[in-house]
Amino acid sequence: MKKNLVILCLCILTSFAAEAQLTINGVTLPAKVNKDNTELVLNGGGIRKKLFFKLYTAGLYVQAKTSNAADLINADKPEVMRLTITSGVISSSNMSEAIEEGFKKSTKDNTAPLRTKIDEFINTFKKDVIKEGDVFEIWYIPGVGVKSYKNDKLQSTVPGLDFKKALFGIWFSDTPADEDLKKGLLGS
């Protein structure tokens, strides 16, 4: 009887944990995100750091939790990266430079086939001044492409699974922007 009660309690706690939001660096990542009838669950989260600055807090949302980075990059399934800017040192200019550097690493310095798409995506971050507290949601939607939102306002749509693979490679490739962030996003 006691053993069954312990098992029941563990099952209940596990179900609550699966629905739990996550607070990192003062930013609460919701347990789920929804847009256009697509609901995704939080896979993991972390902080993008550079030197001693905590630049942004990120959350990865997927249909089913995974810790396989290659599957995340290659999946033709809905996925979302949610970035909350947590530092005033981020500007449109240095964010654009960081994204460009990320694409170079992700594609092993072969950005030419995706140049037009990369430039269109980078313009998402140049349209308005970036300030602390801004939230960027980068949705991949199969058959549509990458839809980028800033504070819930659509900024751009870049088509293609090829582009999505390069973009998500910024965080999940063998040479990610931040190894600790990658581990956190993968729930490790």
pLDDT of 53 above 90 = no
pLDDT-based confidence at residue 139 (cuts at 50, 70, 90): very high
User: Which residues have a Cβ under 8 Å from the Cβ of 121 and sit 6 or more positions away?
Assistant: 99, 146, 148, 156, 158, 163, 167
Strands 27-29 and 32-35: unpaired
**Tokens matching residue 86:** 């947590």
Instruction: Choose between 78 and 90: higher pLDDT.
Output: 78
Given this model, what pLDDT does residue 3 score? 52
**Every domain of the chain and the residues it spans:** 21-185
Q: Which residues pair with 60 in a beta bridge?
A: 44, 81
Choices 3.40.50.300, 3.30.70.60, 3.50.70.10, 2.40.40.20: CATH for 21-185: 3.50.70.10
For the cut 70, the answer to whether the pLDDT of residue 75 exceeds it is yes
Please, what is the angle between helix 115-123 and helix 92-106, to 10°?
Answer: 150
- Range of lowest pLDDT (52-56, 98-102, 105-109): 52-56
Query: pTM of this prediction?
Result: 0.86
